[in-house]
Structure 1
Amino acid sequence: MIIRILLPVVLAISWIGVADARMYRWIDEDGTTVYSQSPPASGEAAEIKINTSTAPTGNKSEDETPAASDNPSLADTQKPAEGPSKAEIAESNRIKSENCASARHNLDLYSNLGNRLVKTPDGLYKRLTEEERQQKITDSKTQIGEFCGK
Structure 2
Amino acid sequence: MRYLVFLASFMFLCIPAQAQIYKWIDENGKTQYSDQPPLSAKVQKEQRLRIHSALAAVSLSDDEEEDANKPRTLADERADYDQRRQERMEKEAEKKAKVAENKQKCVDAQSRLRVFLESPRLRMPDGQGGLSYVDDNVRDQKIKEANEAIAEYCT
| TM > 0.5 | no
Q: Which has the higher helix share?
A: 2
Q: Which has the higher strand share?
A: 2
TM-score band w.r.t. shorter chain = 0.3 to 0.5
Larger Rg: 2
